[in-house]
Amino acid sequence: MLRVLQTARLSTRCSSSFVSRMRFLNGLKQNDDVCSVALQDARMFLFHRLSPLLQRNPQGTFRTAELRTSDVQSLLENIGSDRTLLQESVLIGCTGQNQAQFCLDIGSLDQAAAEKVCGGTFVDLRKSFFLLSRREAPLVAKAQALLRWHQTSGFCSATGQPTHRNQAGSQRTCSSSGIIYYPKMSPVVIVLVSDGKRCLLGRQASFPRGMYSALAGFCDMGETLEETLIREVAEEVGLEVQSFSFSSSQHWPFPQSSFMMACHASVSPAHSQLCVDHSELEDARWFSQQEVLAALQSPPSHRGDPPALWLPPKHAVAHRLITEWTQETGGVVE
Ligand SMILES: NC(=O)C1=CN([C@@H]2O[C@H](COP(=O)(O)OP(=O)(O)OC[C@H]3O[C@@H](n4cnc5c(N)ncnc54)[C@H](O)[C@@H]3O)[C@@H](O)[C@H]2O)C=CC1
Ligand SMILES: [Mg+2]
């Protein structure tokens, strides 16, 4: 069987290593046997009821605990579970050397025992986002979103019959109708509105005290990105967008895997009077470049009262939009 995996790796050989990695990954999703073999010699990311396993570096910072399959197999034996749990692993990517990466939720096992054996701690995903590097957070978010999708997609919404996954965990199929389900993200437009001098930030009651962010809204069925953007700004703060430009995108795992399409938009300074829909937003305000730069340069300490303006964490695409705006308007973010 190992020859099967080597063949899969060789068959993806081509000039670009990135292309060969993408083809190797695609092959694992298409072929259960090859995927099973790849799982035997993979890099594993563990979760416990959707909280990722983190380990502390000697410097006191945190990283995701990346284990070998053999480590996980001995962990499972060590804390009394059988090896079949390994089959519940879900493919999330591969390393530069075409070694498959899988995630596995061991929520059915004793958390403290698993933490002791692995020398790590399972940390709530939202908290992990503040602890992990910008490089690691997206893979952990993807893994958690896939594990959660499997945990909530066990039955076909058309027939009510059980669904079964493929080895990679990239799809589930209804056992009676054959309907195939794929993991879903909900498209969301997130937009930083400016009137040329100020930027508009809003907050929901659910946000931490003092935190303001860019406006965001889910795309309604059939809407284009443009239509969602101008509708959401009109709905939430009563303004008419004059123009907008696309900035970047991001998978955001909260609350149920949103696909964030981040844009900058402008409104006429002559028509910048806010009319906030308080059923959606607790507050929305225009902020000067000076206020935003101050907030970017002095993120809140987690002690004492929050500052007047607290911005989303660096991993959030809203933070990127706000930083881009300050740079476009001549501010310098250190
Ligand atoms: N990454 C970032 O920087 C930020 C991300 N967000 C995310 O953007 C998303 C949308 O933000 P909101 O202002 O809450 O959206 P929104 O302005 O559309 O209002 C939320 C309402 O949309 C409806 N809704 C909820 N889930 C939906 C879905 N899957 N499809 C269609 N409609 C749905 C519900 O009625 C809900 O009350 C959320 O996932 C939020 O976590 C929000 C701000 C910053
Ligand atoms: Mg919104």
Q: Ligand 1: list residues with CB < 6 Å.
A: 186, 188, 190, 213, 216-218, 232, 252, 254-255, 258, 260, 280, 312, 316-318
The pLDDT assigned to 322 comes to: 98
Q: Closest by alpha carbon to 24, among 98, 91, 97, 96?
A: 98
Angle between helical axes of 32-40 and 2-11 (0-180°, round to 10): 110
Atom of ligand 1 nearest to the CA of 186: 29
How many CB atoms are closer than 10 A to CB 41? 13
CA 190 to ligand 1 centroid distance, Å: 9
Q: What ligand is nearest to the CA atom of residue 207? A: 1
This prediction has a pTM of 0.90
Tell me the best of 188, 223, 319 to mutate to test the pocket of ligand 1, counting ligand atoms within 8 Å of each CB and taking the most. 188
Cα dihedral sign for 144, 43, 19, 32?
A: negative
Cα–Cα distance for residue pair 294/287, rounded to 1 Å: 11
Q: What is the DSSP string of 20-48?
A: HHHHHHHHHHH-HHHHHHHHHT-EEEEEE
The pLDDT assigned to 3 comes to: 59
Residue whose CA is closest, atom 18 of ligand 1?
217
The pLDDT assigned to 112 comes to: 96
Residue whose CA is closest, atom 17 of ligand 1?
217
Mean pLDDT, 10 residues at a time, the chain of 334 residues = 59 76 96 97 97 94 95 91 89 94 96 95 93 91 97 97 98 97 98 97 94 97 98 98 98 93 98 97 97 86 68 92 92 57
The H or E element that residue 322 is part of is helix 317-328
Atom of ligand 1 nearest to the CA of 232: 17
